[in-house]
Chain A
Amino acid sequence: MATGTEPSPQPAATGVPTASRAAIAARHLRTDRWWLAPACTAAGLLAFVVYSTWRAFANADYYHAPYVSPFYSPCLAENCHTMRGGPNWEIFGSWWGLSPALLILIFPLGFRLTCYYYRKAYYRGFWASPPACAVAEPHKKYTGETRFPLILQNLHRYFFYFALLVAGVLTYDTVLTFRDEHYQWGHMGLGTLVFLVNIVLIWAYTLSCHSCRHIVGGRLRHFSKHPVRYRLWGWIGKLNARHMLLAWSSLISVALADFYVFLLASGAFADPRFF
């Protein structure tokens, strides 16, 4: 190396042990509990997938006036539960026989699936690529996001646009929770609080998105020429630093909001009323 900077030719091989590298047989030498983080991530995501699959296919117990489960909002099929003033628009006609949740969940699912944080989480947790830093991955070949299907991760920003719409609808739902079961305004129950917390977290997660940060200001070259966008970029940057935290807390809050509606709709619990 001293006299040149051309890399020496390498024999074709994969994994850490390559002929010219330090001869260490172990795939890693980490002594800490490196597997804990990916294991927790995988368990958490798996739990959510199981729960949400059950709830999405259930096609029941998702509305209890004035609360609509975020999994079913907006409700776009004819077979939707009637919600007065609620987000049910029969864009899809009577031919749709499955759960209306499936129509809309595509979008938040796509948003989260292509999210820069969740990508890290499931690449590490499920695909072990890599399982943890400096721990060898089990795959022979790796092409990352250079080809189909993973190159589609670049479409994250479109899902972000949809996620904005969905967040808008969920905000509308939250406003509607200030009505009571007879659709009279001036109500607030424990459910209202649950919905409020959820919508704040949903917005925080959505706005903290890396694509959002880019669109708002990151793509500029001269912040000084766009002071308003620069300030917005700064705020979003602060949120963005907590993207992982927001991803998890909004995931949990949305499941909790749905579960709360389930408890009410199935009659297992009565909504305590504040006023």
Chain B
Amino acid sequence: MSEAQAAEQGTGPAGRSGAYQAHFRVWRGEAGAGGLKDFTVEVHEGEVVLDIIHRLQATQAPDLAVRWNCKAGKCGSCSAEINGRPRLMCMTRMSVFDRAETITVTPMRTFPVIRDLVTDVSFNYAKAREIPAFVPPPELAPGEYRMQQEDVGRSQEFRKCIECFLCQDTCHVVRDHEENKAAFAGPRFLMRIAELDMHPLDAAPEAGIDRKTSAQDEHGLGFCNITKCCTEVCPEHIKITDNALIPLKERAADRKYDPLVWLGNKIRRRTE
């Protein structure tokens, strides 16, 4: 816990740690009501924003709601907006800010707020369910799968995703247009479609599922105007736009806008 770490400072290398008072503005409230609340709080060397939020909890606002888990950038729970930018609180070091700077922390603004910094991210779980799952090749028994490293590399990049939903939060398609939520799966789940479409053994085509076309027709790929904010905020540095969304758009274009490919497929009845 953070206060334990704070106490640690007392016995620790006090000489090296230059503690100072920082000015924080933290959004507090619930759906429909709330506002930015000012705090002055101690900061020690080497801390991240989540530590400061925990210190507020332990010393000034014990019921300050915040969602967090691993504190090492691996679980994707502590997503919020810091000085207006979507970030993981556990991966935002205090040293990147000027000491005199006011640091504003708000919940993700694309999702309904539950309380304080905690938002209702169920939009994402609902979208996840709408993506048809991996279809195992019926002819292969467990243990018989053979895949080359170069064939799994692309999907592996997308599977680095920790589902922090920062890309979903920053994407203006739903951030600025609530009404698009129904039709748009968001970068994370379009990337999931790309991941499955690039999976070397996914048997979706044989099962009658056309992931490329459905990405555009059912999951709103066309809404994406590739302005790359999802890539900018990704804490895992996944090249969402260049490696997932644009290739998916090209794959959809193969199907829908390229008469040559269309003709070729008609003749060969296969994608490859």
Main secondary structure of the interface of A (DSSP, over half): loop
B151 at interface (Cβ–Cβ under 8 A)? yes
A31 to B85: give the CA distance in the assembly, Å.
Answer: 9
Tell me, rounded to whole Å, the shortest Cβ–Cβ distance linking B108 to chain A.
Answer: 8
The residues of A that contact B229 with a CB separation of less than 8 Å are 130, 133-134
Which residues in A have their C-beta under 8 angstroms from that of B262? none
Contact B178 A144 (CB under 8 A): no
- Tell me if B254 counts as interface (CB < 8 A to partner A): yes
Q: A23-B34, A24-B106, A116-B226 are in contact. Are A241 and B232 (CB under 8 A)?
A: no
Q: Answer whether residue B170 sits at the interface, using C-beta atoms and an 8 A cutoff.
A: yes
- The closest CB in chain A to the CB of B34 belongs to A23
Residue B121 interfacial (CB < 8 Å): yes
A15-B176, A29-B104 known; A24 and B226 CB under 8 Å? Answer: no
Check A10–B178 contact: CB distance below 8 A: yes
Does the CB pair A134–B225 fall under 8 Å? no
**A4-B177 CB under 8 A given contacts A28-B84, A214-B251:** no
Partner of B225, one of A28, A32, A144: A144
* Complex Cα spacing A137 to B225, Å: 13
21 contacts between A and B (CB under 8 A): A5-B122, A5-B125, A7-B126, A10-B178, A10-B181, A23-B32, A29-B81, A116-B246, A120-B225, A123-B225, A130-B172, A137-B172, A142-B180, A144-B223, A145-B222, A154-B252, A211-B250, A218-B247, A221-B151, A222-B200, A224-B151
Asked whether A134 and B253 contact (CB < 8 A) given A16-B175, A144-B173, the answer is no
A172-202 to B contact mask, C-beta < 8 Å, 1/0: 0000000000000000000000000000000
Query: B-side interface residues toward A, CB under 8 Å?
Result: 27, 29, 31-36, 81, 83-86, 101, 104, 106-107, 109-114, 119-123, 125-126, 129, 148, 150-151, 169-170, 172-173, 175-181, 198, 200, 220, 222-229, 232-233, 239, 242, 246-247, 249-254, 256-258, 271-272
Q: Which residues of B contact A124 (CB under 8 A)?
A: 227
Bound together, the chains give a CA A13 to CA B252 distance in angstroms of 31
B225 touches A24 (CB 8 A): no
Question: CB-CB < 8 A to A214: which residues of B?
Answer: 246-247, 250-251, 254
Given contacts A120-B228, A224-B148, are A20 and B84 in contact (CB under 8 A)? no
Which DSSP category, helix, strand, loop or mixed, fits chain B's interface? mixed
Closest to B233 in A: A133
**What's the nearest-Cβ distance from chain B to residue A232, in Å?**
13
Cα A9 to Cα B125 in complex, Å, equals 15
The answer to whether B122 and A6 touch across the interface, beta carbons within 8 angstroms, is yes
Give residues of chain A (210-256) contacting chain B, Cβ–Cβ below 8 Å. Answer: 210-211, 213-214, 218-224, 230, 240-241, 243
* CB <8 Å contact, B249 and A154: yes
Residue in A7, A24, A129, A219 whose beta carbon sits within 8 Å of that of B181 in the complex: A7
Chain B residues with CB under 8 Å of A50's CB are none
A230 contacts B150, C-beta separation under 8 Å: yes
Contact B129 A16 (CB under 8 A): no
Residue A30 CB within 8 A of the other chain = yes
Known A-B contacts A142-B173, A221-B200; A13 and B178 likewise in contact (beta carbons under 8 Å): yes
Judge whether A221 and B272 touch: CB under 8 Å. yes
Residues of B within 8 A of A241 (CB): 239, 242
A82 touches B (CB below 8 Å): no
Give Cα distance in the complex from A120 to B246, angstroms.
Answer: 12
